[in-house]
Amino acid sequence: MGKLVIVGTVAYDAIETPFGKTDKILGGAGTYIGLSASNFDVDSAIVSIVGGDFEQKYLDLLSSKNIDISGIEIVKEGKTFFWSGKYHNDMNSRDTLITELNTLEDFNPVVPEDYKDAEVVMLGNLHPLVQSSVLDQMTVKPKLVVLDTMNFWMDIALEDLKNVIKRIDVITINDEEARQLTGEYSLVVAAKKIHEMGPKYVVIKKGEHGALLFHNEQMFYAPALPLAEVFDPTGAGDTFAGGFAGYLAKTGDVSFENMKNAVVYGSALASFCVEKFGTERMENLSHSEVQQRLMQFKHLTQFEIELT
């Protein structure tokens, strides 16, 4: 069985969408990545930090999904990372209202001993120095390192981010962030510039417009499934990343051809995430539901054409 190390926030979120509003609920990039990757037969561990206010039932939830939580540090006297966001009517864009780093401010990640030889490392959206520190702790060079980031870290730690980007194989980033990172409007040109920064593979997430995978001159596109109901897009990008990394850890095949399947798995899992608020949908997802959705993806995009 493949091993997957995930580093990312385990958090409290408060979310507002045109459909409603939540108080503090379970969130965090690490949480969404872990829940998504748990749909694959892999040994995964989350490396993160929470405060004494973090409810045991959420840790139990992660454990019940066979996720190793020994790398989640609990600071009894500290507070858990808190993020609050409000979505616009199009549900594709949002404003961050609050980011309280809390315990994350002094986070020194510790990769569990058993996971220092993991084949796949998923560096979730976090301070780039924390992402680097996880890589430094790996005793065996991972087969694949995937990194996700966001504008927040570009704004406050751009040089550190560029340094860790040099060390990774795949970056997953959304369209606006790819533009911000490169100063290019065209996503094709942006992907080329990101290649030049280090990663051989660039995945650009375009929300409800799907995801693009770039590798040198090759390009692959997977749509997002058009859904009748989208309640809350929070965590969709992380769920995508968790599905992508989980699938590659399970198959052990990191070729471009197999990465196309990983993009489709990531998109399929993300399509569930948005159907309910927070992590709710990802907490109760069956294998057959995932399989059915993959078939829907296949039918959505498959066509036979005769060249005339």
Q: By the criterion CB under 6 A, which residues form the site for ligand AMP? A: 9, 11, 13, 27-29, 83, 99, 125-126, 152, 234-238
CB of 134 to ligand AMP, least distance (A): 14
CB of 161 to ligand AMP, least distance (A): 12
Classify each residue of 143-180 as buried b or exposed e, where b means 16 or more C-beta atoms within 10 Å of its C-beta.
bbbbbbbbeebbeebeebbebbbeebbbbbbbbebbbb
CA-to-CA distance for 5 and 156, rounded, in angstroms?
25
CB of 50 to ligand AMP, least distance (A): 12
Please state, in angstroms and as integers, the Cα–Cα distance from residue 55 to each residue in 11, 33, 51, 78, 284, following that order. 11, 19, 9, 13, 19
Q: Which is nearer to ligand AMP, 13 or 119 (CB)?
A: 13
CA-to-CA distance for 125 and 239, rounded, in angstroms?
12
CB of 206 to ligand AMP, least distance (A): 13
Q: Which is nearer to ligand AMP, 68 or 232 (CB)?
A: 232
Is 34:27 a contact under the CB 8 Å cutoff?
Answer: no
CB of 210 to ligand AMP, least distance (A): 15
Q: Is 251 exposed, middle or buried (0-12, 13-18, 19+ CB in 10 A)?
A: middle
Q: Which is nearer to ligand AMP, 11 or 111 (CB)?
A: 11
- Specify the 3-state DSSP secondary structure of 12: strand
Q: Which is nearer to ligand AMP, 42 or 50 (CB)?
A: 50
Return the structure tokens found at 207.
């929300």
Q: Which is nearer to ligand AMP, 99 or 137 (CB)?
A: 99
